[in-house]
Amino acid sequence: MFIINLNLKDLLHHIINFKKETMFLALLITCLLLLCFYMTKRPSCKVYLMDFACYKPPTSQKCTKELLMKKARDTGYLSEGTLDFMKKTLERSGLGDSTYLAEIFLGEKYTPSIKDSRREVEMAVFGSIDMLLAKTALRCEDIGIVIVNCCIYNTVPSLSSMIVNRYKLRKNVVSYNLVGMGCSAGLLAIGLAKQLLQVHQNTYALIVSTESITENGYIGDDLSKFIINCLFRVGGASILLSNHPSDHYNCKYRLLHSVQNNTSRSDRSYNCILQEEDSVGTVGITINKDLLVAAITTIEANLTALGYLILPITEKVLYLVNYIARNLFTVYKIQPYVPNYSKAIEHFLPHVGGKPVLDELQKTLKFSNAHMEASRMTLYRYGNTSSSSIWYELAYLEAQSRVKKGDRIWQMAFGSGFKCSSVIWCAMKTVDHDDKNPWTDEIDGFPVTLEECEPVPVFFEPTKKN
């Protein structure tokens, strides 16, 4: 009996020791695996904005609202009702008398061709890239990534191939051509470049945002397709990003956040901006009454995602308390709390889609006129240049010498689909304007005082939510 008890004790002792050794071994293996993971994990590359350049068309392409009305009347394509709608829209659009039209619209007859469209794009694309290369002194062979976005103009070979050919970029350059993505495509391209720069080390990414309106003028009488004729103008921008660690000291801005969202699953959002034929077969881009509803819905989702990243803790707590109260005490109809985004950023640069959208954004976010100045002045001076408009806005801030070291800049763009993209930059230095800034020659005349006007006609009004 004594022997049996002794054997059991020894057995228990061995089992306990075995468990201890096993636990120690497991802990050691876990630590080694974590160490290996830490040592082999590639750190996320910081993305820097070295510089950007905006295309400024020749003065021969400037067009007043009065001249545009005359040209539209002289074509003979439009009815008196359509011309009256166009006049009212132009008067209430927020555009000034110095915006730029494509050359084809300033001729005696509107007879666009592929050659004319290509010329418009080449002038904007090559003009902005040449200026960017001059500003940065970058060698073409150092460019490893090229991303071009142009929504309603598509050509063969692609625009990205056109750039590779013109500047003789290296054979292994990574190139992408984004089409049909709407006015948000420029910031979508920034998000794509950010991801590519995490993979391709020590390289530069060239992003080009533009649009060609030459072949996309609408000459029918469906008023829902006529907005594009009144708001869209010629423009383009080129942007240079880098992931070189050494560029931390000589770049303009560092990319902090990039947020995109899409509400295309909703038929209302999907159909609010749509390229289609009218009843007689004339192609145009329909902008219907659902636009503002779709835009605000999509933007609200983008704000929620962005707010989680940038808002101070006090604003997050206030938002959370309000959300809980609204769901618990529904009988009181508590209004939603809109966080104070001005506590998180110094400059707000929304896409200049049109005066109604800017008005609604300012009202919703409770931003001051100073926050909205760059976007309203860009709409007034250059019109809606599609995805490149946000870069004319940033150029405006630089021309006004308002960008100080440490400032956070929020660019927001939205467009067909419906899509919304936001990008947050941090200024790495105080930025002054230069002689290649598109505002330099005339910045002393800005800001201008904008007249109060009635809302844009019925086809740009929101409908009620279902």
Tell me if 173 is assigned to some domain: yes
- The reply to whether 437 falls in a domain is no
**Does residue 79 lie within any of the structural domains?**
yes
Q: DSSP assignment of 190-231, as one string?
A: HHHHHHHHHHS-S-EEEEEEE---GGG---SS-GGG-HHHHH
- Sorted by sequence, the CB contacts under 8 Å of residue 46 that are 6+ apart come out as 243, 245, 248, 254, 255
Q: Is the pLDDT confidence value at 143 over 80? A: yes
Helix extents (H) in 76-226:
80-92, 114-136, 159-167, 185-199
The distance of Cα 350 from the centroid of its chain, to the nearest Å, equals: 8
Q: In this structure, how many other beta carbons lie within 10 angstroms of the beta carbon of residue 101?
A: 23
Which residue range forms the structural domain that includes residue 294? 48-432+443-450
Mean pLDDT for all residues in the chain: 89
Query: How do residues 18-70 score in pLDDT, each as one tens digit?
Result: 566 666 666 767 776 666 655 555 567 899 999 999 999 999 999 999 999 99
> How many CB atoms within 10 Å of residue 250?
14
How confident is residue 434, by pLDDT bands cut at 50, 70 and 90?
confident
**206 DSSP β-pair partners:** 146, 240
pLDDT for 16: 60
Residues 399-422 have pLDDT tens digits of 999 999 999 999 999 999 899 999
What CATH number does the domain containing 315 carry?
3.40.47.10
Question: Above 80 in pLDDT, residue 459?
Answer: no
Query: From start to end of 377-448, where are the E strands?
Result: 408-415, 419-427
Q: Indicate the Cα dihedral angle 81, 84, 89, 90, nearest 10°.
A: 140
Is the pTM for the entire model greater than 0.85? Answer: yes
Mean pLDDT of 261-279: 92
456 belongs to a structural domain: no
Give the DSSP H or E segment for 72: helix 65-75
Give the residue-averaged pLDDT of 148-173: 94
pLDDT digit string, tens, across residues 346-384: 999 999 988 888 988 898 888 999 999 999 999 999 999
Tell me the HSE value of 42 on the side-chain side, using a 13 A CA sphere. 8
Mean pLDDT of the 177-204 span: 95
**For residue 301, is pLDDT > 50?**
yes
Cis bond upstream, residue 418 (ω within 30): yes
pLDDT at residue number 77: 86
Choose the weakest-confidence range: 75-84, 295-304, 328-337, 457-466. 457-466
Contact 340, 366 (CB under 8 A): yes
Q: Tell me how many domains the chain contains.
A: 1
Q: What is the DSSP string of 404-421?
A: -TT-EEEEEEEETTTEEE
